[in-house]
Amino acid sequence: MTDEKGKTTVTVRIAGEEHVLRSSADPEYTRSCAAFLDERIREIRELSGLVENHRAIILAALSITDRYFEAREELEQVRREVASRSTNLVRRIDHALDVPPAGD
């Protein structure tokens, strides 16, 4: 169901609890995000033996945040590398254009 602000209501299940979310994102995307979080919470509970949902949720949030920070840093490194390579390529092209053709 979509409201007047373009937000859709989506029902998801996270950590054994049903949640009704309003989001402007595609409903399948919202479900996918919720499923990812739910799976991470389940993994943490299984690995750590935690019984309390709130502690597993906090650890899942920290784990996902850590992955996000790592991905953000990797993306920044790739951006720097692309910028460096682009600059070097432009220099090489400029240099090649300044060289007179062979035989002149």
Q: Would you put residue 21 in left (φ > 0), alpha (ψ -120 to 50) or beta?
A: beta
pLDDT at 34 over 90: yes
Residue 104 confidence class, pLDDT cut points 50, 70, 90: low
Domain spans of the chain?
8-98
pLDDT at 15 over 90: yes
- pLDDT attached to residue 77: 98
Q: What percent of the chain is predicted at pLDDT more than 90?
A: 76
Residues 48-77 have pLDDT tens digits of: 987 788 999 999 999 999 999 999 999 999
Residues 71-80 have pLDDT tens digits of: 999 999 999 9
- pLDDT attached to residue 5: 75
Residue 34 in tokens? 């919720």
E strand or H helix that includes residue 13: strand 8-14
